[in-house]
Structure 1
Amino acid sequence: MKKSLIAALFAAPFIAHAADAANDALVARGAYLSKAGDCVACHTAPRGKPLAGGLPMTTPLGAIYTTNITPDPDTGIGKYTEEDFARALREGVAKDGHNLYPAMPYPSYAKINDEDMHALYAYFLHGVSPVKQANRDSDIKWPMNMRWPLKMWNVVFLDKGAYHDKQGKDVAWNRGAYLIQGLGHCGSCHTPRGIAFQEKAVDESGSAYLTGSSLDNWFASNLTGEHNTGLGRWSEADVIAFLKTGANAHASAFGSMSSVINNSTQALSDADIAAMARYLKSLPATGGDGSPPYSYDAKATKVSLMRPPAHDSGARVYTAFCMHCHGIDGRGFAPMLAPLAGNPNVLEKDASSLINVTLNGTDDLVIQGVPAPYPMPHYAPVLSDQQIADVLTFIRGAWNNNTSAVSVDDVAKLRKATQVSR
């Protein structure tokens, strides 16, 4: 009896240490998964404390503000049980029973498996510093701000159930599908939405899935195998490079995708990034406008950029403000300076992203703590609406891009919208 007691006392510190190590590993796993979900991007306001909420999100009905998801017991989720936490992520229902707006990507998070949900709960309750910051009411006016219709929305549009591996697909494909469809919630931005703000497809079985969508004055790109506006000309290595660094031979990140690169994908393991690339490159070509596959043609530039004629405002603006970075041949100096010839964002029918990035520039890409050396500057104070329309029309017609012109009205409209939101 005495020997057993002594042995138990001797073993107790080691058992406690093992339990602490297991808990630390669980919290670390949850921290990794939270990066895969890019939680910090939406739940951190500019110059705000991490995960304390307050970031405005534009909806057709008015702005809503993200919530405090730190473990503060009064203003955050400190009193959430694991069941409460899982219900909020998978069903969009808060602890007090009110429904969350589907701007919170719970239709995607519904696919998170139980093991990962457990790790996420451990991280948010034990690995995040609590912040006492009250949540802000939305700007949506009564009666449109009533939450009870969201219960009906869930009945119609929410597909419950964690992701299950697809038969006939390998481990990497299924891992990529799980991350893209679930934690990565790529469809929330890159899939067009219907009249009820529902994603028109939630996986590759729907033809609209990841075909691109307008969002918050940007156009989130087509991620299918479409040759011109999608990833058809990208290799798996190109996709990996983009997710790791925000740039490759074809394009550079801008808008909210810069935040995704900075806060999420660059921190993921090589195996997970490769799996995501495998899945994306498996998607068939969908979307686009039926144009023939792009091929570069330097002679397709209709004017000489060395001496552009006075009547061609677009060419003259390009030589003065764009050519030194993007080149006389439109091919840029990838990956540091994006090409414009054949760039999927240039070939996209919706020019919102081109207008926005010309007006407002890009946020810094910060890879492993080092800012990218040549961010896109903002030209809103420098160029008129007419000049921006002219230069983008020139770019979209040059080097065999053969894409529609940009109207001055579209530039003016987006200038006004982004000045209000900035």
Structure 2
Amino acid sequence: MNKTLMKSSWLAVVLVAAAPAFAAENSDVERGRYLATAGDCVACHTAPGGKSMAGGLPLASPLGAIYSTNITPSKTHGIGSYTLQQFTDALRHGKRADGANLYPAMPYTAYAKTTDEDIAAMYTYFMQGVQPVDEAPAKQTALPFPFNIRASLGVWNAMFLDATPYKTDASQTPEWNRGAYLAQGLAHCTTCHTPRTSLMAEDLKRNLSGGDVGGWYAPNITSHAVSGIGDWTQDELVAYMSGKPVPGKGPAAGPMAEAVDHSLKHLSPDDLKAIAVYIKTVPAVDDGSLKQPADSFGKQTDALDTLRGVDLPKDYNAMTGAQIYDAYCAACHQAQGQGTEGGGLPGLFHNTSLGHANSNNLVQVLLHGIERHGADTVMPGFADELSDKQITALGNYLLTNYGNPAAKVTEPQVAQLRDPATAGSSSSFLMLARVGMAVGLVIVLGVIAWLLRRRKA
């Protein structure tokens, strides 16, 4: 390839990676709206029953609930007084207008990849295209010591924040670069799908190999054929992100369903394909939790022979998993777990929700259902009807017959996940994080002492 052609190809990559999927005549407000949609801002900054972007939603974390803030252009409770630079600092550096640090529940570590031009368009949208809401959120974030000291996040940012905007890879296609720009940036895939260290930083050595999100499990989405999604096709990934049924894979639920409904399905077909192209190339990570792909477990079967002629126990907590399934699940998922044709009501075997070693998503769906926004909700939750013991029995029946038989559901697990506000909390993780922060502080103090000794020398 001659130098002129190489230069032209590189320039094409740069332009396509940074450019939004819009016609030139579209306004900055509409361009910013699209980008804010890609960032899924509304999902975290809108409380149930609350006004759009007004904040107040409790985000479950291992350290306690973090409440989202008002990001409408209200000058009293929102960001109406923010300058473009202050807005940029929030997205790229995790800094509020008053200089205080934001908690990284706001994925500024990913948003930092966004170009200046796209951040400016988003600023225009938030200032001109969002209705101001002057009502303050009901609650403020109050994490336990030492995490309530926001200044400590300055050290965390110095250690883990890369505020450099996305740099195109000239060895890749423009389509791949566009997908990488979105996936690494506004779509913030790593925020949920990458495991965390004891200091709550993303473990980049295990990038996109699975993480915990408020009591939900964000699965491994690397290209590994067993642990990840290596056996998914690009078309299947695009259909999944579009909110369409993907027979043999299972539907989105929890935070992923919110990401699909509020964000991904509203992106252009070209952008969705670009994300799929990029995700398919993410280096494979074997997390060791599976011996076969999550969508390969189970078969069509039933336990009707255990039900015929058998009365229900007087104590409903003594019901078998098969009895609970027959009473609550068979009407939709069919007697043998086959679902409906086309996957509108998904089959339970060859279903990723039941194939992972981590059974949290199964328990969450049984308790809270699958809530969809702008789409029909077809999976109700049974938290008000079934006890912890019954959910445990049903969950283990489903895993044994249709899913990964090595996975288990326990009553303590069900009890913890029953309350969405505390589902992601973990006393052991809190202790680990405190120890990690202490170790980090010792290291920082050691470095400062070493530098002072060098200066004196």
- When normalised by structure 1's length, the TM-score is 0.85
- Are 1:243 and 1:266, in contact at CA under 8 Å, matched by a contact in 2? yes
Name the structure 2 match of 1:382: 385
TM-fit CA distance, 1:241: 0.9
TM-fit CA distance, 1:290: 4.1
Moved more, 45-54 or 227-236: 227-236
Query: Which digits, 9 at most, give the CA deviation of each residue in 1:338-362, with x for residues without a partner?
Result: 2221222211111111111101112
TM-fit CA distance, 1:143: 4.6
Moved more, 99-108 or 223-232: 223-232
TM-fit CA distance, 1:322: 1.9
Equivalent-residue separation in structure 2 for 1:218 and 1:256 (angstroms): 8
TM-fit CA distance, 1:285: 3.4
Matching residue within 327, 348, 353 for 1:345: 353
Q: Does 1:274 align with 2:273?
A: yes
Q: Which amino acid aligns with 2:365?
A: V
- Are 1:261 and 1:365, in contact at CA under 8 Å, matched by a contact in 2? no
TM-fit CA distance, 1:23: 9.5
Q: Does 1:401 align with 2:408?
A: no
SS across alignment from 2:343: coil
- After superposition, the Cα gap between the structure-2 partners of 1:382 and 1:76, relative to the gap in structure 1 and judged at 3 Å, is closer
Name the structure 2 match of 1:217: 215
SS across alignment from 2:395: helix
TM-fit CA distance, 1:180: 0.8
- Are 1:230 and 1:344, in contact at CA under 8 Å, matched by a contact in 2? no
Alignment of 1:41-52 (within 5 A): 41-52=43-54
- Are 2:298 and 2:350, in contact at CA under 8 Å, matched by a contact in 1? no
Q: Which amino acid aligns with 1:92?
A: G
- Are 2:193 and 2:209, in contact at CA under 8 Å, matched by a contact in 1? yes
Equivalent-residue separation in structure 2 for 1:320 and 1:146 (angstroms): 50
- Are 1:313 and 1:390, in contact at CA under 8 Å, matched by a contact in 2? yes
TM-fit CA distance, 1:267: 1.0
Equivalent-residue separation in structure 2 for 1:342 and 1:32 (angstroms): 35
TM-fit CA distance, 1:84: 1.0
Name the structure 1 match of 2:264: 265
SS across alignment from 2:420: helix
Name the structure 2 match of 1:306: 304
Equivalent-residue separation in structure 1 for 2:52 and 2:125 (angstroms): 14
Q: Which amino acid aligns with 1:355?
A: V
TM-fit CA distance, 1:400: 6.6
Query: Which digits, 9 at most, give the CA deviation of each residue in 1:152-177, with x for residues without a partner?
Result: 00000001211111232111111111
Equivalent-residue separation in structure 2 for 1:38 and 1:404 (angstroms): 32
Equivalent-residue separation in structure 2 for 1:228 and 1:158 (angstroms): 31
Equivalent-residue separation in structure 2 for 1:267 and 1:88 (angstroms): 25
Query: Which digits, 9 at most, give the CA deviation of each residue in 1:193-250, with x for residues without a partner?
Result: 111111112xxxx3x1122212212112221234455323321111111111153111
Q: Which amino acid aligns with 2:155?
A: M
Query: Which digits, 9 at most, give the CA deviation of each residue in 1:39-83, with x for residues without a partner?
Result: 111111111111111111122332221111111222221221111
Alignment of 1:19-30 (within 5 A): 25-30=27-32
Matching residue within 155, 162, 166 for 1:163: 166
- Are 1:228 and 1:342, in contact at CA under 8 Å, matched by a contact in 2? no
- Are 2:222 and 2:283, in contact at CA under 8 Å, matched by a contact in 1? yes
Name the structure 2 match of 1:10: none
Alignment of 1:96-111 (within 5 A): 96-111=98-113
Equivalent-residue separation in structure 1 for 2:406 and 2:334 (angstroms): 19
- Are 2:321 and 2:390, in contact at CA under 8 Å, matched by a contact in 1? yes
Q: Which amino acid aligns with 2:332?
A: C
TM-fit CA distance, 1:191: 1.2
Q: Which amino acid aligns with 1:315?
A: A
- When normalised by structure 2's length, the TM-score is 0.79
Name the structure 2 match of 1:252: 251
- Are 2:399 and 2:405, in contact at CA under 8 Å, matched by a contact in 1? yes
The root-mean-square deviation of aligned C-alpha atoms, in Å, is 2.4
Q: Which amino acid aligns with 2:400?
A: G
Q: Does 1:80 align with 2:78?
A: no
TM-fit CA distance, 1:192: 1.1
- After superposition, the Cα gap between the structure-2 partners of 1:400 and 1:187, relative to the gap in structure 1 and judged at 3 Å, is closer
- After superposition, the Cα gap between the structure-2 partners of 1:226 and 1:402, relative to the gap in structure 1 and judged at 3 Å, is farther
SS across alignment from 2:212: strand
Name the structure 1 match of 2:13: none
- After superposition, the Cα gap between the structure-2 partners of 1:161 and 1:44, relative to the gap in structure 1 and judged at 3 Å, is same
Equivalent-residue separation in structure 1 for 2:402 and 2:78 (angstroms): 53
- Are 2:354 and 2:403, in contact at CA under 8 Å, matched by a contact in 1? no
Matching residue within 324, 327, 347 for 1:317: 324
SS across alignment from 1:266: helix
- Are 1:228 and 1:288, in contact at CA under 8 Å, matched by a contact in 2? no
TM-fit CA distance, 1:28: 0.8
- Are 1:90 and 1:107, in contact at CA under 8 Å, matched by a contact in 2? yes
Equivalent-residue separation in structure 1 for 2:127 and 2:25 (angstroms): 12
Name the structure 2 match of 1:7: none
Q: Which amino acid aligns with 1:261?
A: V
Name the structure 2 match of 1:177: 180
Select the structure with the greater relative contact order (CA < 8 A; seq sep ≥ 6).
2
Equivalent-residue separation in structure 2 for 1:379 and 1:239 (angstroms): 29
- Are 1:225 and 1:283, in contact at CA under 8 Å, matched by a contact in 2? yes
Name the structure 1 match of 2:368: 360
- After superposition, the Cα gap between the structure-2 partners of 1:75 and 1:383, relative to the gap in structure 1 and judged at 3 Å, is closer
TM-fit CA distance, 1:419: 7.6
- Are 1:246 and 1:253, in contact at CA under 8 Å, matched by a contact in 2? no
Equivalent-residue separation in structure 1 for 2:218 and 2:123 (angstroms): 30
- Are 1:70 and 1:129, in contact at CA under 8 Å, matched by a contact in 2? yes
Name the structure 2 match of 1:113: 115
- Are 1:348 and 1:403, in contact at CA under 8 Å, matched by a contact in 2? no
SS across alignment from 1:307: helix
Q: Which amino acid aligns with 1:361?
A: G
SS across alignment from 1:332: coil
Name the structure 2 match of 1:17: none
Q: Which amino acid aligns with 1:38?
A: D
Q: Which amino acid aligns with 2:327?
A: A
SS across alignment from 2:31: helix
Structure 2's unaligned 5+ residue stretches are 1-22, 311-317, 424-457
- Are 1:228 and 1:347, in contact at CA under 8 Å, matched by a contact in 2? no
SS across alignment from 1:418: coil
Equivalent-residue separation in structure 1 for 2:391 and 2:298 (angstroms): 24
Moved more, 213-222 or 108-117: 213-222
Name the structure 2 match of 1:332: 339
Name the structure 1 match of 2:428: none
